[in-house]
């Protein structure tokens, strides 16, 4: 019956959101409860942070470069190429740095978490862990959440820096602009709310990436096909959520600081 189907579908989604909220809440709260798995935290931080460094640097550099290229050609129509650095640094620090870094880390790590935990679910390793007296949330989820939040914060700063340098490279070497003018405008235009916005976003996005990746991993059903499904869903949902939450944070910051 169609009404039953709609009802059961709605219930399914409500239960999923509830389960996600419980997992995310417990993952955060576990930091205050023993035992702590610092070894796993370091391993995850290494895997997520250091492992993602090459793609973050490459993405940041070329994003800054293409931003300078596009801005300069548009600004040239108004004779305002001097503010290329301003445009690049503002765009990178407020928006593109946090969002693109998060999307790259999401593609690499949300999928990795979902597939790793999903494989453990379908091979009963998670049940075995519980049977051996270990809380999988403390051992597997909490280290991933904190490691992602912590490392994404610094990856975003690196991405912002490299993006600004990429913009400088294009502006100076390819477009023949003045280097000190580029860096001067890039630095002078930044205000506290811009920096704050750029640093708050990766904290929230890191939380989204890790909790969504772990949630889909821990709720995997249906063998290898289920693992594939979870992996895809984790990347899609975390990416969409990142862009949606980016809009909310930007709106909130504009309302609070006025620009």
Partner 1 sequence: MVTAPQTAPTATTDDPSQPVVVFDDVSIGFEGKQVLENISLTVSPGETRILLGPAGSGKSVLLKLANGLIRPDSGTITVFGERVDNMPEEQLFQLRGRIGMVFQEGALFDSLTVRDNVAYRLMEQKIPEAEVTQRVTEALRFVELEQTLDKFPSQLSGGMRRRVAIARAIVNRPDLILYDSPTGGLDPITSTTIVELVMKQRDVYRTSSLLVTHRLQDAFMLATHTFDREQNHMVPIPNGGLDSKTNFLLLHDGHLVFDGSTHDLVHSDDPFLKEYLS
What is the C-alpha separation between 136 and 128, in angstroms, rounded? 10
Backbone phi and psi for residue 132, each to the nearest 5 degrees, phi listed first: -90, 10
Binding site for partner 1 (CB under 8 A): 35, 123-125, 127-135
In which region does residue 133 sit, left (phi positive, over 0), alpha (psi from -120 to 50) or beta (all else)?
left
Whichever of 22 and 50 has its CB closer to partner 1, that residue is 22
Whichever of 95 and 135 has its CB closer to partner 1, that residue is 135
Whichever of 72 and 141 has its CB closer to partner 1, that residue is 141
Min dist CB 49 to partner 1, Å, is 20
Report yes or no: 116 and 217 within 8 Å, Cβ to Cβ.
yes
Whichever of 21 and 243 has its CB closer to partner 1, that residue is 21
Per the structure block, which two tokens stand in for 117? 């935990």
Min dist CB 135 to partner 1, Å, is 7
Whichever of 10 and 195 has its CB closer to partner 1, that residue is 10
What is the C-alpha separation between 106 and 209, in angstroms, rounded? 6
Residues 111, 113, 118: CA angle, nearest 5 degrees: 95
Min dist CB 147 to partner 1, Å, is 17
Whichever of 136 and 206 has its CB closer to partner 1, that residue is 136
Min dist CB 197 to partner 1, Å, is 39
Min dist CB 51 to partner 1, Å, is 16
Burial 108-142 (b: 16+ CB within 10 A, else e): bbbbbbbbbbbbbbbeeebeeeeeeeebbbbbbbb
Min dist CB 45 to partner 1, Å, is 17
3-state helix, strand, coil in the chain (%, to 5): 90, 0, 10
């Amino acid at each position: 019956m169609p009404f039953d189907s709609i009802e059961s579908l709605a219930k399914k989604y409500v239960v999923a959101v509830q389960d996600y909220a419980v997992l995310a809440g417990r993952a955060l709260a576990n930091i205050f409860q023993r035992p702590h798995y610092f070894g796993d935290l370091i391993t995850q931080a290494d895997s997520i942070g250091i492992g993602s460094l090459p793609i973050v640097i490459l993405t940041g550099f070329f994003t800054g470069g293409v931003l300078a290229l596009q801005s300069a050609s548009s600004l040239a129509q108004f004779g305002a190429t001097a503010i290329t650095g301003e445009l690049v640094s503002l765009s990178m620090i407020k928006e593109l740095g946090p969002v693109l870094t998060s999307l790259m880390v999401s593609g690499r790590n949300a999928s990795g978490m979902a597939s790793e935990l999903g494989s453990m679910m379908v091979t009963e390793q998670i049940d075995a862990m519980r049977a051996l007296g270990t809380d999988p949330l403390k051992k597997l989820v909490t280290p991933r959440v904190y490691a992602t939040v912590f490392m994404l914060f610094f990856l975003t700063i690196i991405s912002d820096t490299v993006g600004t340098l990429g913009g400088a490279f294009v502006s100076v070497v390819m477009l023949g602009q003045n280097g000190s003018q580029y860096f001067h405008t890039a630095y002078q235009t930044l205000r506290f709310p811009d920096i704050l916005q750029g640093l708050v976003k990766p904290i929230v996005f890191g939380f989204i990436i890790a909790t969504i990746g772990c949630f889909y991993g821990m709720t995997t059903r249906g063998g290898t096909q289920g693992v594939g499904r979870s992996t895809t869903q984790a990347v899609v949902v975390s990416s969409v959520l990142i862009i949606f939450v980016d809009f909310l944070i930007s709106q909130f910051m504009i309302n609070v600081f006025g620009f």
